Structure 1
Amino acid sequence: MSVTPPAIPVLDSIEGLSGRCRAWLVDIWGVMHNGRRSFPRAVAAAQAFRAQGGIVVLLSNSPRPSPSAQAQLRGLGVPDDCYDATVTSGDLTRHELAKHPGALVFHLGPERDRGIFDGLDVVLVSPEEAELIVCSGLFDDETETPDDYANLLRDLAARDLPMICANPDHLVERGAELIYCAGALAAVYEREGGSVVYAGKPYAPIYELALETIDRLAGESVAKDAILAIGDGINTDIAGAAAAGIDSVFVASGLHVPGGGEEELDREHLAELFAHAKRRPLGAIRALAW
């Protein structure tokens, strides 16, 4: 006989879970900002946790390397004093590219992501000349969808070109809109038979780097049960934390839950979202708040 698990607690504040924590792993887009502006309550929560001695590492599937990601955060109103470090998919993408010195690379993504390649021994070329693909997103994510790339991805997959996906997210919120990301293109590429290396959540390498970062900041090894992951992506933030053996809190943004932070959470909907999860979040909260 199956046993119905207890309801996932709905939280008004993260403070009650913070006493057990040495460190937070916090998603950026959807938790700290929405691509247009910062969330002041989330900023204040991170500042409050740091004020009591906690370590905050922002863990992002952004294709930007950390220096560029941090500059973007400042521009959106997320100040430096609400976190200790950032770890991004862009950082891991550069690590993967370093394994391919001199590679002829086709960059599938917007010009703003070109910082991934700064200082690396690679040559950016057309799709026809490429021996490796780096996908950081759609060229124009405000007007295009993955359907616009079907023929290109089919042709590239037919040539057995490996792809590095610099942002495993499929969708993110930008303001009130949902925007396709590199992960959506990578999924199409795999369906066409292409091979993809994912540089980001929910895959293990980015968590290994994040945990190393926490240990360095703490000056000692920090146990996983003293770390809390906070994110709004079920298949990235929550699934990735579970696979890494880390507890999580689900931020119920408009990515998975109607209302985008404005309505009361529906417990039945939460139960459906995590019905098949091997490790459910400790709680759900509409928006990160202290």
Structure 2
Amino acid sequence: MMSPLRFTPHLRDLVHDTDVLISDIWGVVHNGVAAFPDACGALQTFRKQGGIVVMLTNSPRPTPAVQEQLRELRVPDDCYDDIVTSGDLTRHYIAARPGEPLYQIGPDRDGPTFDGLDVSFAPLERADYIVCTGLFDDETETAEDYREMLLKALSRRLPMICANPDIIVERGHKIIYCAGAVAELYREIGGDVTFYGKPHLPAYHRAFELAAARRGAPTPLNRMLAIGDSVRTDLAGANNAGIACVFVTRGIHSADFTEAHEIDAAAAQRLFGGTRPPFVLMRDLRW
């Protein structure tokens, strides 16, 4: 039987043999409203000691837009070396199809995903494919509000590119739905969906490439450590990529860990299912 999972209070106890951290952003270093100072300090300290930090996010926006958001939330630039976003990967797909009509599902604020590209926006009836960056109004809508639209898209067999595989995130103290919720509904009714971002391997391979460029050589998997707060994306992604994971419980799964000091085998099966790479628990990221 599996031993109980206990909480580790400090990152410094976990990184003696670690050269690279692959860290989630939302839920780990901020909550969409404000930065977490202890988390930022932990990443800064790791870098000062010679480590490399690559932020890996399912944000549908490209890296410059994410960096601007981090600065607005008071996340210091020296917390990280590079950023990989789902938006970056989505942009590569769009760039390979110049001028092809697409239909966007998502808010106007995701405009940077398309900046500088040869994009032809079209109504659903004339589009060749869909790019889902989010919900039009994530404060009030759920994926079910899109079922009728998705059935129309399915009737035309339109492929969908999901630029953010997250189902939900925490904004302040509120849970909101993301593009992944809409994309999963489309997939469930028979739609063709390509997901760019965690837990899928291309996002991790890009993070590994950037870390190798910083270090001058590839980093062995056993000397990398992922950090995240989502079972579905961060923990599963680390499992897919073959690296250990620090699972931060203050994020979207916080209600499952209230007052818990350790997680027994039955609770671990309920919370984590079959996703069992080497990982440890932290309530929040701190040095």
2:168 is the counterpart of 1:171: yes
What corresponds to 2:270 in structure 1?
Answer: 272
2:97 is the counterpart of 1:97: no
The AA in structure 2 aligned to 1:223 is: P
What corresponds to 2:231 in structure 1?
Answer: 234
What corresponds to 2:6 in structure 1?
Answer: 9
What corresponds to 2:72 in structure 1?
Answer: 75
What corresponds to 1:25 in structure 2?
Answer: 22
Q: 1:259 to 1:40 in 2, by over 3 A?
A: farther
What corresponds to 2:213 in structure 1?
Answer: 216
Q: Which of 222, 226, 229 lines up with 1:225 in the alignment?
A: 222
Residue 259 of structure 1: how far off its partner (Å): 7.0
Are the equivalent residues in 2 in contact too, given 1:274–1:280 (CA < 8 A)?
no
Identity in percent: 48
Q: Distance in 2 between matches of 1:270 and 1:84?
A: 33
What corresponds to 2:246 in structure 1?
Answer: 249
Are the equivalent residues in 1 in contact too, given 2:28–2:251 (CA < 8 A)?
no
Q: 1:265 to 1:232 in 2, by over 3 A?
A: farther
Are the equivalent residues in 2 in contact too, given 1:167–1:200 (CA < 8 A)?
yes
The AA in structure 1 aligned to 2:263 is: R
Contiguous gaps of at least 5 residues in structure 1 = none
What corresponds to 2:85 in structure 1?
Answer: 88
Residue 254 of structure 1: how far off its partner (Å): 4.1
Are the equivalent residues in 1 in contact too, given 2:5–2:262 (CA < 8 A)?
no
Deviations 1:84-108 (A, max 9, x none): 1100000000011122121101110
- State the TM-score, normalized to the length of structure 1: 0.95
Contiguous gaps of at least 5 residues in structure 2 = none
Residue 264 of structure 1: how far off its partner (Å): 4.2
Are the equivalent residues in 2 in contact too, given 1:201–1:240 (CA < 8 A)?
yes
Q: Distance in 2 between matches of 1:265 and 1:61?
A: 30
What corresponds to 1:133 in structure 2?
Answer: 130
Q: Distance in 2 between matches of 1:64 and 1:247?
A: 27
Are the equivalent residues in 1 in contact too, given 2:6–2:262 (CA < 8 A)?
no
Residue 266 of structure 1: how far off its partner (Å): 4.5
Residue 17 of structure 1: how far off its partner (Å): 0.8
Are the equivalent residues in 1 in contact too, given 2:243–2:277 (CA < 8 A)?
no
Residue 178 of structure 1: how far off its partner (Å): 0.6
Greater Cα shift, 97-106 or 83-92: 97-106
SS state at 2:14 partner: helix
The AA in structure 2 aligned to 1:274 is: F
Q: Distance in 2 between matches of 1:152 and 1:271?
A: 36
Are the equivalent residues in 1 in contact too, given 2:107–2:133 (CA < 8 A)?
yes
Greater Cα shift, 94-103 or 137-146: 94-103
Count of matched residue pairs: 285
